[in-house]
Amino acid sequence: MSSRSLLVFPFLLAVAIAQRPYGDPTPGAAGFKPRLHAGSSWIGNMNFGFDIAAASGGVPAFLQISLAPTNQSVIGFHLLVDLNVSLGSIFTVTNGFQPGDGTAHIGVPLGIPASPNFIGAAFYAQAIMLDSGSVGGVLSASQGWRFELGLPPLIFVGTSILNNDPYQLVEPTLNSVVATGSPPEVNNVTKAVFMNGGKRLFTASSIRGAIGMADLTVSQPVWNTIWQGVATSTYGIAADHERKWVWTITDPGSGARELVAIDVDQGRPTFGLPVAATYGVAFGYFEKFSLAPNCRRAALITFLPQTLTIVDTESGSPTFCQNLISALPIPTDQPGGTMLFNDIEITPDSRYVMMVGQFPGAAPTEVAVYDMLTNTWVDHNPNQVGAQNIGPYSLPVVNMGSAATTIEMSRSGTFAIISGMGGCGWVGRLDLDPNDATYFAWQQWNPGVSLQNSWTAALSPDDLEVAVSTWQKTGCTAMGGPVLRRFDSAQGILLGSIPIPYNSNPSTLQNLYSVVYN
């Protein structure tokens, strides 16, 4: 149903780039937990708004937006926005007719220019429903939703070649490269994150063992190294926007790889210094990790052998930076050979860990799912003994491509994008149900364009489009150079192809190794 604003929000003028859920929802009738999600609110985006899901159907609902969070018990529900600094509320009535099927979209059009003073400012939202079936008998509520105001959308593309790795910034609305260069900070970027409302971009260089920072407020980005490790290894990077930290895997001096947090707040004396680190987090090699959206947990995968480790990343916790689960073997279903798990994601509710794995050759990909609440593997085939992964032994059977490289979770939690290098490259959508971890449905896309050497894929903050990196591969149709493909996330329809300039040594393989939306 349509919604109407009770108060006008002149502050909501730019981009909600750094978005994450926080706090716990208050269940409604039949125990369903309402969810809140917002799209990417870039400057001038008239379609920006919030989506409520899993509420009771046909009930009054209020979206509260505030300048600060809180966590209070008020007439039987968790209030997560500070009403003392509230910017007002927007009223609607949920669609649906029964518990759990209530949905609503609340639009907050952003039609006026943004002031630079607001870029990077944080706001907090929560949906509250009148629900007599809730635990308190009056109100149910979603989790909180923190979002930052920021700059228009960009896509960072990092490459991996022999040396002098170049980067590109792509503007998706123009479908073109708007900035490029090859500073040391982008040498073999394993991952990157946008922060401060898109004003800053942070990179992890595995070759240099360093964290780099780009100032994106100028026409040509200015790069600096803000932290240099003791070893040539920094694998991955994840942002904690609330504490203004970035996490990475590196050797802090112990001789082993650890999970380390670096302060990236330029106003603090600890800027560019490690502020937290694990000790003895895992044995063996690990390069991939995921930080939970609520920033309370990190999940890491090692290879040879394949194991999962869960670390407490909630500062103030008595087990902060300690293992909660150590080197748990990741199950595989296909017999023979060794499965390598190549990527990992935590769902938006910060409960489930999803991992994609590959066997040698053309064997199909498997997706293992771990429940951090019950500490069990999720079973996707009740007709077989044990917990089956999503794949050729699940029910229904799913035959994804081989050599999976990426799993990227939507912010709504209703689907994930999975891509791989097997054959001449592939990508598809795995539909999910946040209320039922056993549900899944796979749709492999056939976009009609080459997906060779698809090292990675990325999902836009509004969940609407996917970018896939491609590059010519021996035995496949010649492409003529590296290309970034953009698809709509619903059906995989091609939105655009952006040629990426050749590097300084075009005879080498130029892998588009890192793709990230702001």
At 151-198, the pLDDT tens digits run 778 899 988 766 678 899 999 988 999 999 989 999 888 889 998 878
Q: Higher model confidence: residue 29 or residue 109?
A: 29
Distances in Å between the Cα of 4 and the Cα atoms of 56, 208, 314, 336 are 20, 53, 38, 59
* pLDDT at residue 494 greater than cutoff 70: yes
The answer to whether 311 and 322 have CB atoms below 8 angstroms apart is yes
Q: Quick: pLDDT tens for 210-268.
A: 999 999 988 889 999 999 987 768 889 999 988 999 999 987 777 778 999 999 999 99
Predicted confidence band of residue 43 (pLDDT cuts 50, 70, 90): low
In what helix (H) or strand (E) does residue 216 lie, and over which residues does it extend?
none
Assigned domain for 349 exists: no
Structure confidence at residue 6 (pLDDT): 31
Respond yes or no on whether the N-terminal peptide bond of residue 396 is cis (omega within 30° of 0).
yes
Nearest one of 402, 449, 444, 399 to 421, comparing CA atoms: 402
The mean pLDDT value for 6-20 works out to 40
Residue 305: exposure state from Cβ atoms within 10 A (0-12, 13-18, ≥19): exposed
In a domain? residue 90: yes
Give the CATH number, domain containing residue 14.
2.60.40
User: pLDDT category, 378, cuts 50, 70, 90?
Assistant: very high
Mean pLDDT (whole number) for 75-97: 93
Any residues with CB less than 8 A from the CB of 113 and at least 6 apart, and which?
13, 43, 44
Please give the Cα distance from 238 to 409 (Å, whole number): 14
Q: Residue-wise over 165-191: b if at least 16 C-beta within 10 A, else e?
A: bbbbbbebeeeebebbebbebbbbbbb
Distance CA 299, CA 249 (A): 12
Q: For residue 123, what pLDDT band results from cuts at 50, 70 and 90?
A: confident
Q: Tell me if residue 189 falls in helix, strand or coil.
A: strand
DSSP string, 318-378: TTTTSEEEEEEEPP--S-SS--EEEEEEE-TTS-EEEEEEE-STTPPPEEEEEETTTTEEP
Domain count, the chain: 1
Flag whether 21 is in a domain: yes
Mean pLDDT (whole number) for 280-289 = 81
* pLDDT tier at 111, thresholds 50, 70, 90: low
The DSSP bridge pattern shows strands 35-38 and 167-171 to be: unpaired
How far are the Cα atoms of 211, 277, 338 from residue 321, in angstroms, in the given order? 20, 6, 30
Order the strands of the 483-488 sheet from edge to edge: 457-459, 465-470, 483-488, 494-499
pLDDT tens-digit readout, 90-102 = 999 999 999 999 9
The amino acid at residue 153 is P
Per the domain annotation, does 49 fall within a domain?
yes
- 341 within some domain: no
Kind plus residue range of the DSSP H or E element containing 200: strand 200-205
- 8 pLDDT above the threshold of 70: no
The predicted model gives 460-471 an average pLDDT of 90
Query: What is this structure's pTM?
Result: 0.84
In this prediction, residue 15 has a pLDDT band, given cuts at 50, 70 and 90, of: very low
Check residue 162 and give its pLDDT. 61
Number of H helices, E strands in the chain: 0, 40
Q: Collapsing DSSP states into helix, strand and coil, what is residue 195?
A: strand
Residue 219 lies in a domain: no
Q: Can you tell me whether residue 214 is helix, strand or coil? A: strand
The pLDDT of residue 16: 34
Evaluate if residue 42 carries a pLDDT over 80. no
| Distance separating alpha carbons of residues 69 and 147, to the nearest angstrom | 11
Domain of 45, in residue numbers: 4-148
Mean pLDDT of 112-116: 56
Residue 134 located in a structural domain: yes
Asked whether the beta carbons of 378 and 352 are under 8 A apart, the reply is: yes
The rounded mean pLDDT for the chain is 87
Q: Is residue 440 part of a domain?
A: no
Task: Answer whether the bond into residue 305 is a cis peptide, omega within 30°.
Answer: yes
CA pair distance 57, 93, nearest whole angstrom: 8
Burial class, 311, CB count within 10 angstroms (exposed 0-12 / middle 13-18 / buried 19+): buried
